[in-house]
Amino acid sequence: MQKKTDALENMYRELADKEKGYRARALKMFPHVCGSCAREFSGKGLKELTVHHKDHNHENNPPDGSNWELLCIYCHDNEHEKHKMKGYGAAEKSFQAGGFAAFDGLDALLSPGSKDEGNG
C-alpha cells in the first residue's frame, strides 16, 4: 500500500512541477489579463489567473506559448464546460456509459391513446 501512496504522491509532485514550469513561462510571456473577460491581475490576485491549453492537451507546451492563453479561474472553468457540452472531455464519456435515465419511456406514456381516458 505504501508503494501506491508514494507513486501517487510522486505523480502529483511531477504534475505540479510541470504546471509551475509552463505557468511561470506563460506569466512572463503574456500580459496579466484574462483572455476572455479582459480582467487585469496583479499581486495576490495573480493566483486567479490560469493557463488554458487551447487544444485541451496539457502535454502540448510549445516554447513560444502558442497553445496557451491566460484565463481567470471563472472563464477557464466556463471554457472547459463549453468543451464538455460540445461532446468532448471526461464528463461526456461518463454520461454515455449508461446509468439512470429519468425520462426513458416518457413519450410512450404521454402519446395519445396510451392513457386510459375512462379513469379520470
Query: Mind listing the pLDDT tens digit for each residue in 30-82?
Result: 999 999 999 999 999 999 999 999 999 988 999 999 999 999 999 999 999 99
pLDDT value at position 108? 77
Overall pTM surpassing 0.85 (yes/no): no
Q: Is the dihedral of CA 27, 31, 34, 39 positive or negative?
A: positive
Which residue in 33, 16, 30 sits closest to 64, CA to CA? 30
pLDDT value at position 15? 72
- If DSSP codes are grouped into helix, strand and coil, which group holds residue 100? coil
Please name the fold of domain 2-88. His-Me finger endonuclease fold (3.40.1800)
pLDDT value at position 97? 43
